[in-house]
């Protein structure tokens, strides 16, 4: 990792180190790396060798779970994080994103949640109104079939943790399907 800090960001050598690090994390079970690998794969400056290296890591560690019924309408399953919206949210700003989510545009639920989380973190503590809005957005997103928002809903106290985890698993979220580690 130290050698990556000495390289120019975006250089082929830096990208090699980035791919190497993501590979190590993916191999260790960090499924968030699968998202980063997909984003990195879209980088126009990748060499053929780098594209191949990413494809190999994705084949080994980032395959989506097979869903007999597929994802709900408007969702797709590209990796171990399960079903997620096909489209990107086009609404700008957290209020517009929240309104779009509440109006049924599931692609706006996660960005609205993230914006509210950031605002809460900057304020130092979430307000009861903000928490209520975040719970609503997470529930709507989960109900629409966005697997990761089921876990967010659970973390925010929407429904039971077991039910939300089961829903996320049914939507292809690989980590949610694994048995919970016993508490020490």
68: CB partners within 8 A, 6+ apart: none
DSSP state of 80: T
Cα angle for residues 184, 181, 81 (degrees, 5° grid): 145
- Our CA dihedral for 127, 129, 130, 133, rounded to 10 degrees, sits at 160
Question: Measured between alpha carbons, how far is 148 from 31 in angstroms, rounded to an integer?
Answer: 12
**How far is the C-alpha of 55 from the C-alpha of 63, rounded, in Å?**
11
DSSP 120: H
Predicted confidence at residue 5, as pLDDT, reads 63
47: helix, strand or coil? coil
Q: What is the spatial distance between Cα 25 and Cα 29, in angstroms, rounded to a whole number?
A: 6
Total-model pTM: 0.76
Of 132, 86, 125, 133, the residue nearest 105 (C-alpha): 86
Check residue 173 and report its DSSP letter: B
> What string of pLDDT tens digits covers the 184 residues of the chain?
455 567 777 788 888 888 899 888 888 878 788 888 888 888 888 889 998 888 888 888 888 888 988 999 999 998 888 999 999 999 998 899 999 999 999 999 999 999 999 999 998 888 899 999 999 999 999 999 999 999 999 999 998 888 998 999 999 998 888 776 665 5
């Amino acid at each position: 990792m130290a050698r990556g800090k000495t390289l120019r960001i975006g250089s082929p050598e830096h990208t090699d180190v980035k791919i190497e690090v993501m590979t190590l994390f993916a191999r260790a079970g960090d499924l968030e790396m699968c998202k980063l690998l997909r984003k990195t794969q879209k980088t126009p400056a990748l060499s053929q060798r780098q594209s191949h290296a990413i494809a190999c890591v994705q084949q080994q560690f980032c395959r989506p779970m097979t869903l007999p019924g597929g994802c709900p309408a408007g969702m797709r399953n590209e990796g171990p994080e399960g079903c997620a919206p096909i489209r990107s949210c086009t609404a700008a700003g957290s209020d517009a994103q929240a309104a779009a989510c509440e109006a049924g545009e599931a692609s706006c639920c996660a960005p609205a949640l993230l914006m509210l989380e950031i605002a809460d973190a900057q304020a130092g503590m979430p307000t009861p109104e903000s928490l209520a809005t975040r719970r609503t957005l997470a529930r709507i997103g989960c109900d629409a079939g966005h697997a990761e928002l089921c876990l967010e809903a659970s973390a925010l106290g929407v429904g039971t943790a077991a039910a939300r985890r089961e829903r996320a698993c049914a939507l292809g979220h690989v980590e949610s399907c694994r048995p919970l580690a016993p508490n020490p």
